[in-house]
Amino acid sequence: MAVTADLAVRIGKLTLQNPVMVASGTFGYGQEYHRLYDVNALGGIVTKSISLKPRPGNPAPRIYETPSGMLNSIGLQNVGLEAFLKEKLPFLKRLKGPRIIVNLAGESVREYVDLARRLEDAGGIDGLELNISCPNCERGGIEFGVDPRLTAQVVGRVRRVTRRTLIAKLSPNVTDIAGIARAAAEAGADALSLINTLLAIAVDADRWRPRVATVTCGLSGPAIKPVALRMVWQVHRALPRVPLIGIGGIMRAEDAVEFMLCGATAVEVGTANYVNPKAPLEIIRGLRRYLSARKLAGPRALVGKLAVPERLRGIPQGVAG
Ligand SMILES: Cc1cc2nc3c(=O)[nH]c(=O)nc-3n(C[C@H](O)[C@H](O)[C@H](O)COP(=O)(O)O)c2cc1C
């Protein structure tokens, strides 16, 4: 008898119809992709980061393709809170399938708190994802996500003004990812998403110039998947009860499975949307096939199941070389 897996998963109080979401900044606010396919099939949509005021973003060139990845320095260009509420949220509210997660970017703790407070009465929003990890802005963003004290402060202050599912999005540009993760969870985050982009540079050897106008920028795509898997695994080992959302170079269903084995309950698909707009749909289908072929009841059966050799069990992780 064929077994059809139930793909539903829980992230804190939220139930997702399947564990595949789309990552902030790679899906706009959903309308354009809805012309290509029915986005109601998605487990969740994470919006482009929203700030209180509209932001024009960084100067061009701000995108560059690298082997197995891409660099970007968009600089959190976005329509701002007012336009989001008037022009973008009504479309998202009408969707029946995906959970709607609004990603917030502030330049100060106060801006994050104001954003969360102003969204509290808006309908149609299921959760907030705090971008405390943007590498491409002069102020805010990454400054919070690389310091456990600031991480705890911003998560704790937002926690006090929202009842919504609160997700802290972590930066990979740190030495001790588990320490930052613990600070966010103890301050009240319901879940953690990881990773944002890795700080990087590309150089034009003929012109002796950086390829991207801001010089430093963020690396994403398959090139970062091994780093992201390692970080998800380390955080899951340190905080096995905290729901994790794995992000980084997910292109196919097997990539999503790898993140789940390392401890992710759900995933977000980013750069893949630029390569193949229907990648998230194919990942959902592939995941169902993967589970059914192995007669597994659902994605939970995979979470944290990476086999670790007996001889490594007592050895502190993070030691390389
Ligand atoms: C062009 C671009 C824009 C992005 N903008 C945002 C953003 O506004 N807020 C945010 O939290 N992450 C942003 N990200 C990071 C992604 O959400 C994701 O964490 C990262 O790209 C790693 O996943 P991937 O390898 O699947 O792309 C952006 C990524 C790209 C490529």
- Contact 30 CB / ligand 1 (< 6 Å): no
Provide the 3-class DSSP secondary structure of residue 278. Answer: coil
- Contact 131 CB / ligand 1 (< 6 Å): yes
* Nearest in space to 129 (alpha carbons), one of 102, 111, 158, 164: 102
Q: Is residue 258 part of a domain?
A: yes
Q: Is residue 278 part of a domain?
A: yes
The pLDDT of residue 303 is 98
> Strand pairing of 20-22 and 14-16?
unpaired
The pLDDT of residue 312 is 73
* Nearest in space to 50 (alpha carbons), one of 152, 140, 123: 140
How many degrees, rounded to 5, is the angle at CA 231 between CA 166 and CA 275?
Answer: 80
> What whole-number distance in Å separates Cα of residue 272 and Cα of residue 223?
12
Q: Is residue 320 part of a domain?
A: no
> What whole-number distance in Å separates Cα of residue 110 and Cα of residue 2?
53
* Nearest in space to 165 (alpha carbons), one of 100, 112, 111: 100
Contacts of 17 (CB under 8 A, 6+ apart): 7, 8, 43, 97, 98
The best mutation among 195, 196, 229, 245 to test binding of ligand 1, ranked by most ligand atoms within 8 Å of the C-beta, falls on 196
- Contact 177 CB / ligand 1 (< 6 Å): no
Rg (CA), the chain: 19
Strand partners, 165: 127
Contacts of 208 (CB under 8 A, 6+ apart): none
Q: Which amino acid is at 221?
A: G
> What whole-number distance in Å separates Cα of residue 177 and Cα of residue 195?
10
- Contact 136 CB / ligand 1 (< 6 Å): no
Provide the 3-class DSSP secondary structure of residue 213. Answer: coil
Kindly name the residue from 134, 137, 217, 262 that is annotated as catalytic. Answer: 134
Q: Is residue 1 part of a domain?
A: no
Q: Is residue 21 part of a domain?
A: yes
Rounded to the nearest angstrom, the distance between the alpha carbon of 218 and the centre of ligand 1 is: 8
- Contact 220 CB / ligand 1 (< 6 Å): yes
Provide the 3-class DSSP secondary structure of residue 77. Answer: coil
Residues of the chain falling short of pLDDT 70 = 1-3, 136-142, 314-321
Question: Which stretches within the chain are classed as H helix?
Answer: 31-34, 80-83, 89-94, 109-119, 142-145, 148-159, 177-186, 225-238, 253-262, 272-275, 279-293
Q: Which residue owns the Cα nearest ligand 1 atom 19?
A: 196
Could you tell me the CATH number of the domain that includes residue 289?
3.20.20.70
Per-residue tokens: 319: 């030691």
Q: Tell me the residue range of the domain where 118 lies.
A: 9-312
Rounded to the nearest angstrom, the distance between the alpha carbon of 295 and the centre of ligand 1 is: 34
Specify whether 217 is catalytic: no
Q: Is residue 2 part of a domain?
A: no
Q: Is residue 318 part of a domain?
A: no
> What whole-number distance in Å separates Cα of residue 195 and Cα of residue 261?
16
Q: Is residue 291 part of a domain?
A: yes
The pair phi, psi for residue 313, each rounded to 5°, is: -60, -40
Maximum Cα interatomic distance, the chain, rounded to a whole number of Å: 63
- Contact 271 CB / ligand 1 (< 6 Å): yes
Quick one: DSSP state of residue 36?
T
Q: Determine if the peptide bond prior to 61 is cis (ω within 30°).
A: yes
The pLDDT of residue 139 is 61
Length of the chain: 321
Strand partners, 247: 268
Rounded to the nearest angstrom, the distance between the alpha carbon of 26 and the centre of ligand 1 is: 6
Q: Domain tally for the chain?
A: 1
Q: Torsion angle, CA of 282/285/290/296, rounded to 10 degrees? A: 150
